[in-house]
Chain A
C-alpha cells in the first residue's frame, strides 16, 4: 500500500514513495530529512508541526502525506534565504521570542503566514491567529513582541 507522491517542498520538486498512512509530518521528517517541524501533541492542537500547504498553515501531524500529493509545502527550513534569515526569524532572535525552542519552528511558520495574510496586524489579530501555537515555557509576550517587531521592520 505504498504510493509515490510528488511535492514541491520549499520550492524544490521532490518525489517520494511512502506508505499511505504516513502523516505529512513524518514524511517531511523521516523521508525528506526536514526535522525542523516537530511533533508535540499529535492531535492538531499545539502547533509545533505547523507547515504551509499552498501558502496556508496546517497541522502536518494530522494531514496525510498522500493528501498533499501535487501540492506545495513550506517548512521552517524554507524561510531563510542563502545568507539571511527570514525577517520573522530575525525578529524572534532580536526580541527573544523563544525559550526552550521546541515550539519555535511552528511559531515562526505561523507568524510568517500571519504577516503574509495581514502585513500590519493588531495585537488582537496576532493573538487570535497565534492562539493555536502553544508555548509550554509561556513565552507569549515575547512571541507577540517578535511578530510586532517583524511587522514594524517590514513597514520601515
Chain B
C-alpha cells in the first residue's frame, strides 16, 4: 500500500469538512473490506483516509416510518442477527447472511457496501426489491434517493464529491405480501452470486392474483437492476407456470451479464430467467402464507 494520512473525526460535520478539504485525494473508510483490499492491490491509492468509526450514532438500527432505518456503520453481521430486522423484514436478515463469511460480515458495513457500488453484492438486490432509500449527507445538506437510482456504473455510485452514505431506510412489506432472495452460486458458499434475484410479491384480496411485484437482480450487469418489464407482466395476473415462465423470459432482454469464471454471459442470461421464476414462486408462497395468517 502507498502512504496516506489518516483521520478519525468524532463528528459527521468534521468528517465532511475534512472530506471537502482534501477533495479527490481523500476516501472515506468504514469496515475497510473493500477499500483496503483495493489499496493492497494498488487499484486505488488515496492520499487521505477518513474513518467514520469514531462517529457516534451511525451504527444504530431503528424503527422509522413503519420501516427500518439502518445506520451506515451497522455491520452485515449485525443486520443478519438483529432481532428487530428478523422480526420486521426477515428477507433483509437472510440476504445479509448470504454475504461472504461471518468474519467478513463482522467487518463490512451497510453504508460502505453501498458506496463501493459493486454490482455483485447481495444487499442492494433485496434493498431495491423492497423499495429502500439511501440517506446521504454532504456539505450542502442531506438528501435521500431510492437505492435503485443510487448505482450508476461498475463501482460507480451517484455520490457526489464530498458526500457520505449515512443510512439506508427499508420499508416494511405491504399487507398480504411476501419476499424472497435467491442467490445462485454453484461454486462456494462465500462467493459472489452467478445470478441473484430478490422478489417482493403483493397479492390481491382474493389471495390468488398478483397485485404488484417488485423484482431486482444482481451480478447480471454493471449495476444491480430492477426488472420493470417482468413486473408489468405480473401485475393483476393470476399466477401460473406460464406466467412465471413469461416473466423469466422477459428478463433475458433486460440483463447484460459478463462472461467470467462464474459462467458465460449466455449461461447467466438463461439462469437469470430460471432464478427469477424461483424467487417469484418463493415470494408468492410467502405472500400466501402471510395473507392466510391475517385473514
B and A form one assembly = yes
Q: Which residues of A contact B (CB under 8 A)?
A: 1, 3, 19-21, 23, 42-45, 47, 50, 56-59, 62-64, 66-67, 69, 110, 128-129, 131-132
Given contacts A3-B6, A21-B2, A132-B190, contact A110 B36 (CB under 8 A): no
Task: Write out, one digit per residue, whether chain B residues 1-31 have a CB within 8 A of any chain A CB (1) or not (0).
Answer: 1111110100000000000000000000100
Judge whether A131 and B40 touch: CB under 8 Å.
Answer: no
Given contacts A23-B36, A132-B101, contact A66 B6 (CB under 8 A): yes
Report the bound CA distance from A125 to B131 in whole Å. Answer: 32
> Within the complex, which residue of B1, B102, B106 is in contact with A21, where a contact is CB–CB below 8 Å?
B1
Given contacts A45-B190, A64-B32, contact A58 B4 (CB under 8 A): no
- Please name all residues of chain A whose beta carbon is closer than 8 Å to the beta carbon of B49 when the two chains form the complex: 20, 64
- Please name all residues of chain A whose beta carbon is closer than 8 Å to the beta carbon of B1 when the two chains form the complex: 21, 23
Whole-angstrom distance between the Cβ of A122 and the nearest chain B Cβ? 15
Report the bound CA distance from A47 to B106 in whole Å. Answer: 13
Using CB atoms, name the residue of chain B closest to A127.
B189
Judge whether B189 and A131 touch: CB under 8 Å.
Answer: yes
- Please name all residues of chain A whose beta carbon is closer than 8 Å to the beta carbon of B264 when the two chains form the complex: none
Judge whether B37 and A43 touch: CB under 8 Å.
Answer: yes
Task: Write out, one digit per residue, whether chain B residues 76-110 have a CB within 8 A of any chain A CB (1) or not (0).
Answer: 01000000000000000000000011111011000
Judge whether A62 and B6 touch: CB under 8 Å.
Answer: no
Judge whether A57 and B36 touch: CB under 8 Å.
Answer: no
Can you list 9 A-B contacts (CB < 8 A)?
A: A1-B5, A19-B3, A44-B103, A62-B107, A66-B51, A67-B29, A67-B32, A129-B102, A131-B188
Report the bound CA distance from A2 to B141 in whole Å. Answer: 34
Q: Is B53 part of the binding interface, using a Cβ–Cβ cutoff of 8 Å?
A: yes
- Please name all residues of chain A whose beta carbon is closer than 8 Å to the beta carbon of B51 when the two chains form the complex: 66-67
- Please name all residues of chain A whose beta carbon is closer than 8 Å to the beta carbon of B5 when the two chains form the complex: 1, 20
- Please name all residues of chain A whose beta carbon is closer than 8 Å to the beta carbon of B101 when the two chains form the complex: 47, 131-132
- Please name all residues of chain B whose beta carbon is closer than 8 Å to the beta carbon of A42 when the two chains form the complex: 40
- Please name all residues of chain B whose beta carbon is closer than 8 Å to the beta carbon of A131 when the two chains form the complex: 101, 188-190
Whole-angstrom distance between the Cβ of B116 and the nearest chain A Cβ? 13
- Please name all residues of chain A whose beta carbon is closer than 8 Å to the beta carbon of B189 when the two chains form the complex: 128, 131
Taking CB atoms and an 8 Å cut-off, the chain B residues in 228-287 that contact chain A are none
- Please name all residues of chain A whose beta carbon is closer than 8 Å to the beta carbon of B37 when the two chains form the complex: 43-44, 62
> Within the complex, which residue of A47, A62, A69 is in contact with B36, where a contact is CB–CB below 8 Å?
A62
Whole-angstrom distance between the Cβ of A41 and the nearest chain B Cβ? 10
- Please name all residues of chain B whose beta carbon is closer than 8 Å to the beta carbon of A129 when the two chains form the complex: 102
Q: Is B33 part of the binding interface, using a Cβ–Cβ cutoff of 8 Å?
A: yes
- Please name all residues of chain B whose beta carbon is closer than 8 Å to the beta carbon of A67 when the two chains form the complex: 29, 32, 51, 53
Judge whether B2 and A44 touch: CB under 8 Å.
Answer: no
Whole-angstrom distance between the Cβ of A144 and the nearest chain B Cβ? 15
- Please name all residues of chain A whose beta carbon is closer than 8 Å to the beta carbon of B107 when the two chains form the complex: 44, 58-59, 62-63
- Please name all residues of chain B whose beta carbon is closer than 8 Å to the beta carbon of A64 when the two chains form the complex: 6, 29, 32, 36, 49
Whole-angstrom distance between the Cβ of A84 and the nearest chain B Cβ? 27
Whole-angstrom distance between the Cβ of B147 and the nearest chain A Cβ? 25
> Within the complex, which residue of A1, A45, A47, A62 is in contact with B3, where a contact is CB–CB below 8 Å?
A1
Report the bound CA distance from A40 to B295 in whole Å. Answer: 55
Report the bound CA distance from A129 to B102 in whole Å. Answer: 6
- Please name all residues of chain A whose beta carbon is closer than 8 Å to the beta carbon of B40 when the two chains form the complex: 23, 42-43, 62
